[in-house]
Structure 1
Amino acid sequence: MTGELEVLVPTRDRPVELATTLAGLAAQDHPFDVAVSDQSDGPASFDTPPARTMLRALRAAGRGVRTCRHLPRRGLAEHRAALLAGSTARYVLFCDDDVWLTPGAVARLHSAIVELGCGLVGAAVQGLSHLADHRPAELAPFERWPGRPEPERISPGTAAWGRWTLHNAANPVHLEQRHVRPGERWVAYKIAWVGGCVLYDRRALDAVGGFGFWPELPASHCGEDVLVQWRVMERFGGAGILPSGAVHLESPTTVPDRSVQAWDVVAPGAAP
């Protein structure tokens, strides 16, 4: 195992999508380990021939690979907390089980977080079925970070909250086309949050308590990743990067009940 970076993949009832996610990881050339934690109702999503093949490919490339079943389900935040608790890596990349990463995406994320020295760097997922759907008004809040991202407090109603539109549909593709100049390896920009693929500095994540707030939430909730990102960005700063390299598989959500948002229950700036 590398010890430097581990990709943490929570999964549930997505055997096809998980195999695709693992295939994207297997095509990366940056050193990292992988942990997959499953909460499926039936057989584990990683217990299929395609997924097992991709896990073998990762091991053959020298990756440390861990798989486990994590039941009973106590909610998204608890699942993420358990994955984090099982990792000792310096950097942890939470990658959802419906995200395919283009070659070079992990290396780009790692390069950015090391050079920027901030608490998190995210690759916003892109819905490629929307490539022809250009939304200039939603791209308007885009703003580069001119240097190291500064700490900032984000919550609903703030000006920074309006950046959420940057990540709708295929907007990250269109932002890349507009703002990545020839010769630039990556561009860091200001975010409200990033869904699906976020690399954390483990020390920053631990400093804000990680996902340790999970007992305060009912089992059915969402927005736990948003809350954690707000806490990290308030103390350590954070950024999105272009090119994203994270492609959303656009499968139906496995979290249909979104009536409870974590930030409505747990105060974003409350001490962990």
Structure 2
Amino acid sequence: MSRPLDAGTSEEFRRERALDVLIPTRNRPAELAVTLSGLAAQEGVPGFGVVVSDQSDGEPAYRHPAVATMVRVLRHRGHPVLLTRRLPRRGLAEHRAYLLGCSAARRVLCLDDDVWLEPGAVARLVTALDELGCGFVGNAVHGLSYVDDVRPETHRHYEEWTGPPVPETVRPDTPQWQRASIHPAANLLHVTEKLDLPPGTWRAYKISWIGGCVLYDRARLVEAGGFDFWRRLPRRHQGEDVAAQLAVLARHGGAGVLPSGAYHLESPTTVTERDVEAWEVVLAAPDAPRPA
């Protein structure tokens, strides 16, 4: 039997550092353990913090021995970890807003609880964000069960940035919106294989939005409103990450980073209540007042 796990306190955790990883989770102890194992194997970004906020129906996932072990591994390797509960559930956007409020880091990585990151992925994202000077960068997640499902018609939407990303207003009725078609399944993996990049190199490409693994300049995310729009949404929504990214894109620009080191675990979704697209509500009333 393992000993009880110390959850940590917000006061001790919320300190200025280079990077914090923000992970919302619900009813996924196995997936969360895999996600944390990927973080524990990262090199080149010492001392990043990790916040896990759990909204499970029963006991929090971090009570599971596998998750608790990975938390201890992260701490052993010098990474502060804060474990929290956020109940009652008020929707995905509120959950992300809460996680963002737990951090005072200069950069924040919004990471879903069903994504494994290969070694070096976080360091590559940090390098890209710093060199590009934009509001966010991201790794689209690969679904390896689709590795033999090649969809060349989607590859035409891949377009690299030839200089620093510039602000863009991306909307569903614009050609830029179609860029998202390179992210499902294993499309981006097939694009990467065609490019045959030398080891250690990366490319920035144009995006509409990225799901699962997005690194923000925290100040720029907050300046764009963060996830404060949660008060304007019903609890049963999705697309909160899209809404936040569109706001940052319009002010500071953003980019996808290739190769992606993010792999989707392809587990059944825990987001089963999808009555409203958050980005549609936000775009319909972009000048609505922010909450006090």
After TM superposition, is the score higher than 0.5? Answer: yes
Paired-residue identity, %: 56
Structure-2 residue corresponding to 1:167:
183
Structure-2 residue corresponding to 1:155:
171
SS at match of 1:126: coil
Distance 1:179 1:162 in 2: 21
Mapping 1:83-102, distance limit 5 Å? 83-102=99-118
* Code of the aligned partner of 1:153: T
Structure-1 residue corresponding to 2:4:
none
Q: Under a length normalisation based on structure 2, what TM-score does the superposition of the two structures give?
A: 0.91
Q: Determine if the alignment matches structure 1 residue 14 to structure 2 residue 28.
A: yes
* Code of the aligned partner of 1:93: L
Distance 1:127 1:268 in 2: 32
Distance 1:268 1:131, change over 3 A: farther
Q: Post-superposition shift, 1:179?
A: 2.5
Question: Bigger shift: 9-18 or 177-186?
Answer: 177-186
Distance 1:96 1:213 in 2: 20
Structure-2 residue corresponding to 1:193:
209
SS at match of 1:213: helix
Distance 1:147 1:178 in 2: 22
Distance 1:235 1:246 in 2: 26
Aligned partner (choices 252, 258, 261) of residue 236 of structure 1:
252
Which one has the largest radius of gyration? 2
* Code of the aligned partner of 1:136: P
Mapping 1:36-51, distance limit 5 Å? 36-51=52-67
Distance 2:252 2:16 in 1: 25
Question: What are the superposed Cα offsets for residues 201-236 of structure 1, whole Å, 9 maximum, x if unpaired?
Answer: 011101111000001000010000001000001000
Q: Post-superposition shift, 1:256?
A: 1.7
SS at match of 2:267: coil
Structure-1 residue corresponding to 2:37:
23
* Code of the aligned partner of 2:277: Q
Structure-1 residue corresponding to 2:9:
none
Preserved contact between residue 2 and residue 64 of structure 1 (Cα < 8 Å) = no
Question: What are the superposed Cα offsets for residues 55-112 of structure 1, whole Å, 9 maximum, x if unpaired?
Answer: 0000000101100111000000000000001100000000000000000000000000
SS at match of 2:137: strand
* Code of the aligned partner of 2:23: V
Question: Which runs of 5 or more structure 1 residues have no equivalent in the other structure?
Answer: none
The alignment of Structure 1 onto Structure 2 pairs a total of residues equal to: 272
Distance 1:45 1:82 in 2: 18
SS at match of 1:200: strand
Q: Under a length normalisation based on structure 1, what TM-score does the superposition of the two structures give?
A: 0.97
Distance 2:265 2:62 in 1: 17
Structure-2 residue corresponding to 1:131:
147
Q: Post-superposition shift, 1:257?
A: 2.5
Distance 1:170 1:119 in 2: 26
Question: Which runs of 5 or more structure 2 residues have no equivalent in the other structure?
Answer: 1-14
Structure-2 residue corresponding to 1:265:
281
Preserved contact between residue 80 and residue 211 of structure 1 (Cα < 8 Å) = yes
